[in-house]
Chain A
Amino acid sequence: MASIIRADGLTKDYGRIRGLDSLTLEVQEGEVMGFLGPNGSGKTTTIRLLLDLIRPTRGSAAIGGFDCRRQSLQARRLIGYLPGEMPVYPELSGSAYLSYLGRLGAEAPEPDAVQGLLRRFDIGPAELKRRLRDLSHGMKRKLGIVSALMARPKVAILDEPTSGLDPLMIEAFAETLADLKREGRTTVFLSSHVLSEVEATCDSVAVIRDGRLVAVETLAAIHGALPRRVTVHFSGAGDRSVPDLPGIRVVSRDAARWVLEVAGPLGPLLERVQGLPVSDIDVQRFSLEDYVLRLYADRS
């Protein structure tokens, strides 16, 4: 797969403050990448640099092979964008808003695609007729998602897409991403604070902190590398020693249970507990949240 988004040493200073520091990153075509980081870490700065809304102090970025600075128009032809702080024209109706943004885009939105998105996000004719100033934050957000995806862009850049959405609509968003992934023609680069959602929808994550990229991993690699938490419950009392196996760390131990972190396969542990009065074994996979929190703890 070729990379469709590429940042190379991308740096942005705001006066004396460094907003982004030498970001080098690639997103492969068709990939869904979550871009994670705490508030003020440089996520939105990165996105705005990709869109040529702000100019880099150093470094470069490209989308679809087009330099985001020098060939910005060609690059922006490929993008569907949902801003984090969604600006609206309060006096416009929902349908006028979509129509206006559709006319400014590179490709006219396909009516079927628009209708499909409107149905999925439960935006009916009544909502489309209302002025944006009268709509809730969540409804505006849904219109924003529709406007970003309605022209079936090659690259969707979504800044906090589910902020303000109710659980049903978060589900609808996840389904939309799954469809995009299935179709394989849209690369998605989304920033989010909701790690469970990123874990459920993304192929990979990039983690940024204080303007610096601290990790880029596929979710599969993260899950493979993280230990699992295994709790072994015993039915009878007794002093049992935890087997000394590579990849096992004892978190806590008493007569009734062991709490272990196990990296690698579980087979050797299961073999060693055979014959012991085991009443239950609970295996928990570590979540993306654990990974990100560990990453922050390591770097701080």
Chain B
Amino acid sequence: MKPARLLTLLLRSLSRGSRVFAAVAAILAAFQVLLVLIASTFQTTRSFDLLTALVPLGVQQSLGPGALMLASFAGMVTFGYFHPIVVLAVIQVGVYAATEPAGEVEWGLFDLELARPIPRRAIVMRSLVLALGVTGATVGAMVAGTWAGLTLIAPAGAVWPAPLRVLNLAAHLLMLSWAFAAAGLAAAAFARRRGEAFGGVAVATVLLYLLNFVADTWTPAARLRPYSPFHYYPGFGVANGTAPVAHDLGVLAALTCALALVAFWRFERRDL
């Protein structure tokens, strides 16, 4: 397979989804800027102390030490990397990009592409690269939003989040979204309709998020915690430097590789 053909496929796919990808990246980057703006307002009005005082002691204890982290300039700025809606949005971008092969089966586009000397693995590789790339670009846009916000808006005297923490958060968000993108790719390798693959993984994402939430807050369910990929992105822990970063990223990377291998294996054997 000539790299030029893979690039041709990749650019075609990127072009088809570019508006969606660009819009989500722009919204999430703007959200990061907005968070810096809100944090700056809190900082200049000295509202963080008030915010801490408003949280009841019981709630503080139940949420752990990380919860109070939000009541600081740096904490509020980094919250944009593990806010549930942000996390789910980045994941859905990756899943959407990764489920393109199911759409191509649905619309008969493989009758054009794979009637030519294109190996099937090139299709999976293209979608994998696309999914990893667009989620990377989305998270990159978020980091750029944070940096731009801090540079342009942050008031003097505000304690910025440590760059390494921000990068760790971004890496976790990225790796988590890659794991779900790989799940989307695997689902697309089985499905005949994009809706089936995308919808299935989207529902699974929400269920796994709830599983992690329940396991974190309800002791009898705690043993289920490792089965949710969200367990490996403890946002507060990463933000305050207490999470086992390498371990969590390693688990998510392994999951990504395993699911991508399933996709390659299945797509090679299926009817299109």
Contacts and interface: CB of A to CB of B under 8 A. Distances in A.
Contacts of B4: 103
A294 B8 CA distance: 49
Interface in A81-128: 81, 83, 85, 87, 89, 91, 100-101, 103-106
A87 B108 contact: yes
Contact of B16 (A81, A89, A104): A89
Interface in B109-124: 109-119
Chain A, interface size category, equals: 20 to 34
A130 interface: no
A146 B252 CA distance: 47
A54 B118 CA distance: 15
Contacts, number: 62
Given A85-B108, A103-B5, A54 B271 contact: yes
Nearest to B271: A54
Nearest to A14: B271
Interface in B156-211: none
A104 B272 contact: no
A273 to B, nearest CB: 56
A152 interface: no
B132 to A, nearest CB: 22
Interface string A57-89: 000000000000000011011010101010101
Contacts of B115: 51, 53, 76, 79, 81, 83
A55 interface: yes
Contacts of A87: 107-109, 111-112
B83 interface: no
Contacts of B271: 53-55
Contacts of A83: 108, 111-112, 115
Contacts of A100: 8, 12
Given A73-B117, A105-B117, A53 B110 contact: yes
B9 to A, nearest CB: 7
Given A83-B108, A87-B108, 20 more contacts: A52-B114, A53-B110, A55-B269, A73-B119, A76-B117, A76-B118, A81-B111, A83-B112, A83-B115, A85-B111, A87-B107, A89-B16, A91-B16, A100-B12, A101-B116, A103-B8, A104-B8, A104-B113, A105-B117, A106-B117
Interface of A: 48, 51-55, 73-74, 76-77, 79, 81, 83, 85, 87, 89, 91, 100-101, 103-106, 147
